[in-house]
Amino acid sequence: MKNDKLIMNGDQMQRTLERLSYEILERISDFSSLALIGIQRRGVDLARRIKKILEQKTNTRLDLGKLDINLYRDDWTNLASTPFINSTDIQFDLSGKDIVLVDDVLFTGRTVRAALEAILDFGRPRTIKLLVLIDRGHRELPIHADFVGKKVNTSRRELVHVLTKERDDEDRVILEGE
């Protein structure tokens, strides 16, 4: 833990989520078709907060879904690995929707690939835009975020931990060093 570096404190995280919400407002014109889907677990926490900000600014009720991607992952290569399954809860029709897919950290792109595959099992949205709090690079797939809170240069061995009040009793982002 001595090599840990604070990337964002709680106030910085809140300001970043507000900025990202304003970017959504600037780039998506039809809020009647907008919906948010958070990737379990902390992506859901962030999506809830963004939804609240957007609803306050637009006076529009937005749909929010929770997505578990574990069964769509491509790294469960043997039967000895048992994924921890969270819940998926999408209670609205995705057809014709403009989806903002929310995750905490973008790394290799494999989680996002799994999320896209899972979403398409629920319907065919008009568009899917990706919002991430942290983009740490090191892509293995041709995936990029449309909305980025902060880009952080990391080594492959470093870890980025996003903590949320909902799960961890505090908001902060930490870079765990080598």
Beta partners for 46?
A: none
Q: What is the pLDDT of residue 157?
A: 94
In this predicted structure, the answer to whether residue 128 has a pLDDT above a threshold of 80 is yes
Classify domain 5-24+33-72+87-176 at the CATH topology level: Rossmann fold (3.40.50)
pLDDT at 139 over 60: yes
Report angle CA 23, 26, 32 to the nearest 5 degrees.
105
Domain ranges (residues) in the chain: 5-24+33-72+87-176
User: What integer pLDDT is reported at residue 70 of this predicted model?
Assistant: 80
Would you say the pTM of this structure is higher than 0.85?
Answer: yes
pLDDT of residue 1: 53
What's the pLDDT score for residue 47?
98
The confidence band for 77, taking pLDDT boundaries of 50, 70 and 90, is low
Distances (CA, A) of 150 to 60, 82, 108, 145, 159: 27, 32, 16, 11, 15
